[in-house]
Amino acid sequence: MSAEPEFRASRPERGPGRDSDPPLVAKRDSGPRAPGLDGIRALDSDRPAGKAKPEARRPEAADPDIAKPPGKREPDAATKAAIRRRRRRRRRLSPLTRRILALNVLAIAIPVAGLLYLGDYRDDLVKSQLAGLRTQAELFAGALGTSGVVTGPLGEEKILPETTRHTVRRLVDVSKVRARLFDSDGILLADSFKLVGPSGQVDIEVLPPQEQHNLFGNLVADIYDWVIAQMPGNRRMPLYREAADQKAEDYPEAERALQGETAEMVRSNGAGGMILSVAVPVQRYRQVLGALMVSTDGREIEDSLRRVRLGILKVFAVAAAITTLLSLYLAGTIARPIHRLAEAADRVRRVPGRQVAIPDFGKRKDEIGDLAEALRDMTNALWQRMDAIERFAADVAHEIKNPLTSLRSAVETVARIEDPVQQKKLMGIILDDVQRLNRLITDISDASRLDAELSRAESEPIDLPRLLQALADLHENTIGQEGPRLVLDIAERQGLEVMGIESRLVQVLRNLIANAVSFSPPDGRIRLACGRQGDMVRILVEDGGPGIPPGKLEAIFERFYSERPKAEKFGAHSGLGLSISKQIVEAQGGRIWAENIEDAHGEILGARFVILLPAREHQPRDRQPRDRQSRDWQR
């Protein structure tokens, strides 16, 4: 039950002198309202005594139909769309701003991501470090081949393990690289990271530099390491494995060195880093006595890559900040004016009257300014159309009221008189008024449908010489012997095609020819001419009648204006013909006007109607035809 105040209809008692029932009078029921849920009225007085009051059921939030307040109508689609637009405008960043910001930042993020890869730069660093390791390995191998080789009793040469261990240790002490020496059988003789003494073997491990503990710095470093680990390149490298009992066969480059070749290898340490190694043969007089493998980690390469990447990221951060600010500024210059235009358009729709003004952005000289001007023009055109509709409705009411008044007067009079002659005369007046009403309603209906039909119809090529010839033949076949003759004057046959709606153009021409026939004397002449006038095609309809009264050359195109010959029966025309003709011609991009034909002394010889239509080759693109069958106007 609604929570609105209850109204009860009551009728006052009929008083003396009243011929009909008095009107209903609405009285407000000001009875008390029960507390509780809004929209629920307590009606205990209507409940039988002793019966418990039922519990009020709480509406469930999950059911929108139950939770909706009673009597509240669902908003229509236009209202919902306006609410959604207002919600979007209340956001801090509009969707357009977010798109502009995302696209601009993405435009610089993509090349930065490519720069962070640094594949070629990394390969160059790896090659450079491998070349340095190779140089060191060749120097160490030459020193070992000179100082660490002895000749046995049978003339065989071999490497002394104790001597080579000290030599290897001293050689790599400065370079901080790891050197391992294998004999010709592939057995490990010396390892610079392993010291052998009386107490056993000691492993040496080079620790990374101590890092300062910083939560934010560690987080950034972890993210950096994870991103770099996901980049292609590391996954293609074989994983470095080191056995407890190392042999040359564990390392392909060492095996190749035992065969007299120099080999190099790049492996992954499993933590995102690299291990580079170079193996060279240890020779004495071209005899391969062993293999020396020199290796180092890629910390220097990673540090160099990190520095370059951090430099790129710094430049990217600055560029991203500048891009963000410029994007916000650019989006503001686009989104804010569009928001203002959208709000103004909403107010035009919601606010009654014409107090709402579209913001003027004409000084911008860009698309936003063009959009504002277009909205202003559209709003003005809408108001002009509303004014025209109001004027049209007022004119229609006025024009229909005249024959209705005459019809009413004739009907009231015919009921009171008994003279058959007068009754017959009044019945003729009634018939004329009915025909006049029928003609008015038909023409008004045609005029009201004209806008919609012209907006839906497709333009098509029209051959004016053929069309005018058909109209001339039709006139000659229907006018009879006493009517004015129609003379067709077509100066040239080329370039007289226009784009338009053929049936409506025929309607215009037939209306002008009919007007010329009604104003021309029976033995007169009507001239129908066609020719080019620059980029336009000109059509003339001339008659030999009395011409158009002074000051009425433009008024004759107004709705319901009628200027007919005196001998013509009153009410035979509705006054909409020329108005409809002007509307049709202007809808097809042309112009129509009237003028008097005068001789050298200024005497009026007749009237001339001029139609200008764009030639087909100069037709605007938005009026070009689509694939469509041409219409036959004579059907």
Tell me the DSSP string of 474-491: HHHHHS-SSSPEEEEEES
Q: For residue 153, what are the contacts with CB-CB under 8 A and spacing of at least 6?
A: none
Q: Do 479 and 571 share a domain, yes or no?
A: yes
Name the residue among 553, 555, 572 with its Cα closest to residue 564.
Answer: 572
Q: Do 371 and 419 share a domain, yes or no?
A: yes
Q: Do 462 and 404 share a domain, yes or no?
A: no
Name the residue among 512, 521, 543, 524 with its Cα closest to residue 607.
Answer: 543
Classify residue 236 by its DSSP letter: G
Name the residue among 492, 430, 489 with its Cα closest to residue 608.
Answer: 489
Instruction: Tell me, yes or no, whether 270 lies in a domain.
Output: yes
Final residue in a domain of this structure, among 431, 456, 481: 456
Greatest alpha-carbon pair distance for the chain in Å reads 169
Instruction: Quick: pLDDT tens for 373-402.
Output: 888 888 888 888 888 778 777 777 777 777
Q: Do 540 and 602 share a domain, yes or no?
A: yes
Show the CA angle centred on residue 411, arms to residues 406 and 414, nearest 5°.
120
Instruction: Tell me, yes or no, whether 108 lies in a domain.
Output: no
Final residue in a domain of this structure, among 297, 312, 336: 297
Taking the C-alpha atoms of residue 415 and residue 62, their distance in angstroms, rounded to an integer, is 71
| pLDDT the model gives residue 50 | 43
Q: CATH number for the domain including 379? A: 1.10.287.130
Taking the C-alpha atoms of residue 246 and residue 235, their distance in angstroms, rounded to an integer, is 25
Q: Do 262 and 287 share a domain, yes or no?
A: yes
pTM of the model: 0.47
Instruction: Tell me, yes or no, whether 132 lies in a domain.
Output: yes
Range of the domain at 428: 358-456
Instruction: Tell me, yes or no, whether 511 lies in a domain.
Output: yes
Q: Do 477 and 584 share a domain, yes or no?
A: yes
Taking the C-alpha atoms of residue 301 and residue 294, their distance in angstroms, rounded to an integer, is 17
| pLDDT the model gives residue 600 | 83
Q: Do 401 and 498 share a domain, yes or no?
A: no
Instruction: Tell me, yes or no, whether 85 lies in a domain.
Output: no
Q: Provide the token pair at 133.
A: 């390791």
45 with 34: CB under 8 angstroms? no
The continuous run of DSSP H or E covering 339 comes out as: helix 299-350
Q: Do 449 and 471 share a domain, yes or no?
A: no
Instruction: Tell me, yes or no, whether 101 lies in a domain.
Output: no
Q: Is the dihedral of CA 593, 596, 597, 599 positive or negative?
A: negative
Final residue in a domain of this structure, among 397, 432, 456: 456
633 with 502: CB under 8 angstroms? yes
> Which ranges of the chain have pLDDT less than 70?
1-92, 152, 154-156, 195-218, 220-221, 224-225, 228-235, 355, 493, 563-574, 618-635
By 3-state DSSP, what share of the chain in percent is helix, strand and coil, each rounded to 5?
50, 20, 35
Name the residue among 55, 57, 75 with its Cα closest to residue 66.
Answer: 57
Instruction: Quick: pLDDT tens for 232-282.
Output: 655 577 888 888 888 999 999 999 999 999 999 999 887 777 899 999 998
Taking the C-alpha atoms of residue 508 and residue 512, their distance in angstroms, rounded to an integer, is 6
Name the residue among 186, 352, 322 with its Cα closest to residue 257.
Answer: 186
Q: CATH number for the domain including 222? A: 3.30.450.20
| pLDDT the model gives residue 11 | 42
Q: Do 220 and 275 share a domain, yes or no?
A: yes
Taking the C-alpha atoms of residue 555 and residue 575, their distance in angstroms, rounded to an integer, is 11
Q: Which residues pair with 281 in a beta bridge?
A: 291
Q: Provide the token pair at 548.
A: 């158009």
Structurally, how many domains does the chain consist of?
3
Instruction: Tell me, yes or no, whether 17 lies in a domain.
Output: no
The continuous run of DSSP H or E covering 237 comes out as: none
Q: For residue 71, what are the contacts with CB-CB under 8 A and spacing of at least 6?
A: 2, 3, 4, 39
Instruction: Quick: pLDDT tens for 406-450.
Output: 888 888 888 788 888 888 888 888 887 788 788 778 777 777 777
Q: How far is CA 319 from CA 99, 109, 227, in A?
A: 18, 10, 21
Q: Do 190 and 229 share a domain, yes or no?
A: yes
Instruction: Tell me, yes or no, whether 229 lies in a domain.
Output: yes
Q: Do 173 and 289 share a domain, yes or no?
A: yes
Q: How far is CA 561 from CA 246, 379, 524, 556, in A?
A: 115, 29, 25, 6
Q: Do 442 and 469 share a domain, yes or no?
A: no
